[in-house]
Structure 1
């Protein structure tokens, strides 16, 4: 029977006597599959948001996919935080029976997570894949929530905790998944956005065509049938009646004595009179003024997972490049790679006749290339795979930690020659992307002597940590 755990990053005690505390720093001490959901304290909105983000931004699917329940006093729970989680409940509701029912209500989600192949060892670093899996695990229809708290006027609350940055990453991710036919979109509304800052809060104003001031007044034109005089309505007003300023006759009945052919405007700044004001839009965020035709008109959609997406979410959505590489090169699993590494290290140490090296390679902006290249990405990555194949030999052992980090065991290769090979790789990649686009694929690498290379995990963590600190 799965049980809930109270989630705490500072090891604070659970407010519920029957519920244990989960400390992320001690993750290895827990049986993650036996956890039904995480309980998050809702007393402090900022702390709750941080804790929810810590769960959803974790790479382990047994953590980030777990249902989250916001707990606290129902009068103090904040609606905007409640929208980020799967369920909310008052502390007073919790009893042994309620905890059992709560766990049972999430069993469908947990069974879905259990069905992920090798779920105990996989690591999902791609925000796109995590988004797809979160949606599929709950069969979620992601609907836009309109709010003044976000500068573009809407967000997708259930997905928001997956993303650390408060930008348009969610929209870009959903657009990408739709392009790959993993989710389907349905139009909810169209809206205008500032082309400079993506803000939806705009003020449309009528202005003077000459000086662009919006300090204008509007009046009607009066046409007197009898004498033909035409002037502003203000000029025809005489005490409590209407009188023609030209012939002094009273105007009593519209359509009989006079008509109103149109309206006109007068600028109080430059005194210019005109019939058609110039419409401009002010952005409340960046304070720029622009023509309405220059605004971005975009669709705001709701999304749900397609049949293809449901299958990919369970069995794995290999990154496009990794999938193509697997076709052209023999990519080994991490455990197999470790075995090859151990054997090669022992061989070199025993015979001392040659050298072998290991290269760690990181492709830094692979996700942004997907967005920029769109449908062209597959063809470009096929060409990139050819580059990899031309640099590495059949005797080299290659493994992918994820879609952007690769480990290469270069047998019978000194560190000097390994560096030359990686230099050829970088130069060929640069040439490829100069031909296909104006983007650069950021490649970083580190070369080690196999004999001095102790732990693959430790060296990878150190390599990636050094990269992130730059």
Structure 2
């Protein structure tokens, strides 16, 4: 049995932890100090937090500092706690009561971590995979945070320094790094500022005032007077204040109008108020104008296993006519095509495409609608590509096309086809930018994949054909 070294942090009143075979404890009393002030040995393979109910806020702070890289411990180190706390579900590995499973978990964790560390670097995705992939069948979800502009944040991503979480999750989902496990919630956003802190209030449909009240009204059949029920209460009976007729039987002497609300600003009576949603920035919108954001619990997708195995995402599917290929396949084909074109005097054309304004479209339309529009536009793009042309997606908003046996003299016709795709775009934010590169070219380097990525980032408005 392997022996693991555990650092145990505790407050002054917590009870000692029970011993576990194969795990050696090193105790450190937290003493109520800021956890960032401590320095720890990196030889520990396990962190155990033994805090009482009175110190759960300190426990959460240690979890946050650890996953943020502020402690002198590996940020992906397994953590178990004696007591449950709000962040344990998101940043920890469970409760100490699962100690009978510690060895199985730690053996699997460090075996997978060793495999992963051969390939990963220091990007946010690498840090995420270093935390998530060694934990077999791991998942992560959102947490409600009232002080945040968005009502939900993903604590794990926040600890990794990822600010634009919606865009990051969308890109990882498109790349199959993560997959949706469970729908946690659906929230509405202000379409102007993305605020999710909304107040729903009913207003007068005539003057839009919020000064409305519900009231019970009566209608006298004798003289036709309509007023609040209190006006008809004379002595112990109901009498019309205008004609003084005693109202004995509803439906015979009087009835109750359907208009149940009264506006104090314009004296208008109405059946139902008009509902509006107001964000804390003062923007008002009808409920059907709000954007929808879906919050999911995510698990790791097949691309995460590819990165762990070979250090990159590799598409080894058999290609079909007209189907997009991976950037790796495209890079090899580009180099071969360029060499062949130089030998046989052929002419080809390379097009770099960029959908500008993806972030703005997500802000304006919401993540689901924006990505659906981009997918629809990509589908339209496929419809105008010949079966002999080769298409590859570089990123969610970038692509490259190899037009075989096509020279620059055909650019006008190509531009017209691409313009028809952009004209079908419902969003005024998404703009298609295109840059052409004729082949053959002596400037094409041997590392075509790196060259493709560099060229795709050079697109600007002057490159539009």
Which bin holds the TM-score, normalised by the shorter protein? Answer: 0.5 to 0.7
* Mapping of residues 225-304 of structure 1, within 5 Å: 225=221, 228-284=224-280, 286-304=281-299
Q: Is contact 1:40–1:48 with CA below 8 Å preserved after alignment? A: no
**Distance in 1 of aligned mates of 2:4 and 2:258:** 73
Give the length in aligned residue pairs.
Answer: 346
Residue by residue over 1:90-123, the C-alpha shift from the partner in whole angstroms, topping out at 9 and shown as x without a partner, is xxx9xxxx7x97454332222222333xx24631
Give the structure-1-normalised TM-score.
0.56
- Specify which of 163, 168, 174 is matched with residue 179 of structure 1: 174
**Distance in 2 of aligned mates of 1:322 and 1:55:** 37
**Distance in 2 of aligned mates of 1:160 and 1:212:** 40
Q: Aligned in 2, Cα 1:161/1:40: closer, same or farther, shift over 3 Å?
A: farther
Shift of 1:4: 4.0
Partner of 1:68: 79
**Distance in 2 of aligned mates of 1:6 and 1:387:** 58
* Mapping of residues 78-93 of structure 1, within 5 Å: 78-80=85-87, 83-87=90-94
**Distance in 1 of aligned mates of 2:448 and 2:8:** 38
Q: Is contact 1:181–1:309 with CA below 8 Å preserved after alignment? A: yes
5+ long unaligned stretches in structure 1 = 9-14, 331-364, 407-424, 437-470
Partner of 1:113: 113
**Distance in 1 of aligned mates of 2:299 and 2:197:** 27
Partner of 1:435: 464
Q: Is contact 2:215–2:260 with CA below 8 Å preserved after alignment? A: yes
Residue by residue over 1:349-393, the C-alpha shift from the partner in whole angstroms, topping out at 9 and shown as x without a partner, is xxxxxxxxxxxxxxxx9x979988955581744359995997775
Q: Is contact 2:90–2:140 with CA below 8 Å preserved after alignment? A: no
Partner of 1:356: none
Q: Is contact 1:324–1:381 with CA below 8 Å preserved after alignment? A: no
**Distance in 2 of aligned mates of 1:4 and 1:370:** 49
Residue by residue over 1:123-147, the C-alpha shift from the partner in whole angstroms, topping out at 9 and shown as x without a partner, is 14143x6546644443134344344
1:378 alignment partner, SS class? strand
Q: Is contact 2:185–2:296 with CA below 8 Å preserved after alignment? A: yes
Shift of 1:45: 4.8
Q: Does 2:61 align with 1:52? A: no
- Stretch moving more, 391-400 or 186-195: 391-400
Partner of 2:340: none
Q: Is contact 1:4–1:36 with CA below 8 Å preserved after alignment? A: yes
Q: Is contact 2:113–2:133 with CA below 8 Å preserved after alignment? A: no
**Distance in 2 of aligned mates of 1:20 and 1:232:** 73
Q: Aligned in 2, Cα 1:329/1:219: closer, same or farther, shift over 3 Å?
A: same
**Distance in 2 of aligned mates of 1:209 and 1:229:** 23
Q: Aligned in 2, Cα 1:262/1:385: closer, same or farther, shift over 3 Å?
A: closer
1:109 alignment partner, SS class? helix
* Mapping of residues 95-174 of structure 1, within 5 Å: 102-116=102-116, 119-120=117-118, 122-127=120-125, 130-131=127-128, 134-138=131-135, 139-165=137-163, 169-174=164-169
Q: Does 2:209 align with 1:191? A: no
2:202 alignment partner, SS class? strand
Shift of 1:203: 1.0
Q: Aligned in 2, Cα 1:283/1:178: closer, same or farther, shift over 3 Å?
A: same
Partner of 1:351: none
Give the structure-2-normalised TM-score.
0.56
Partner of 2:400: 382
Q: Aligned in 2, Cα 1:160/1:397: closer, same or farther, shift over 3 Å?
A: closer
Partner of 1:214: 210
Q: Is contact 2:181–2:298 with CA below 8 Å preserved after alignment? A: yes
5+ long unaligned stretches in structure 2 = 10-15, 18-23, 29-35, 51-55, 316-325, 336-355, 363-369, 379-391, 402-433
Partner of 1:357: none
Q: Aligned in 2, Cα 1:161/1:272: closer, same or farther, shift over 3 Å?
A: same
**Distance in 1 of aligned mates of 2:436 and 2:4:** 50
- Stretch moving more, 36-45 or 250-259: 36-45
Q: Is contact 2:331–2:449 with CA below 8 Å preserved after alignment? A: no
Partner of 2:410: none
Q: CA RMSD in A?
A: 5.2
Residue by residue over 1:6-63, the C-alpha shift from the partner in whole angstroms, topping out at 9 and shown as x without a partner, is 599xxxxxx9994499x9xx99x968xxx6335679737545423321179x9xxx95
Q: Aligned in 2, Cα 1:190/1:47: closer, same or farther, shift over 3 Å?
A: closer
Q: Is contact 1:85–1:158 with CA below 8 Å preserved after alignment? A: no
1:250 alignment partner, SS class? coil
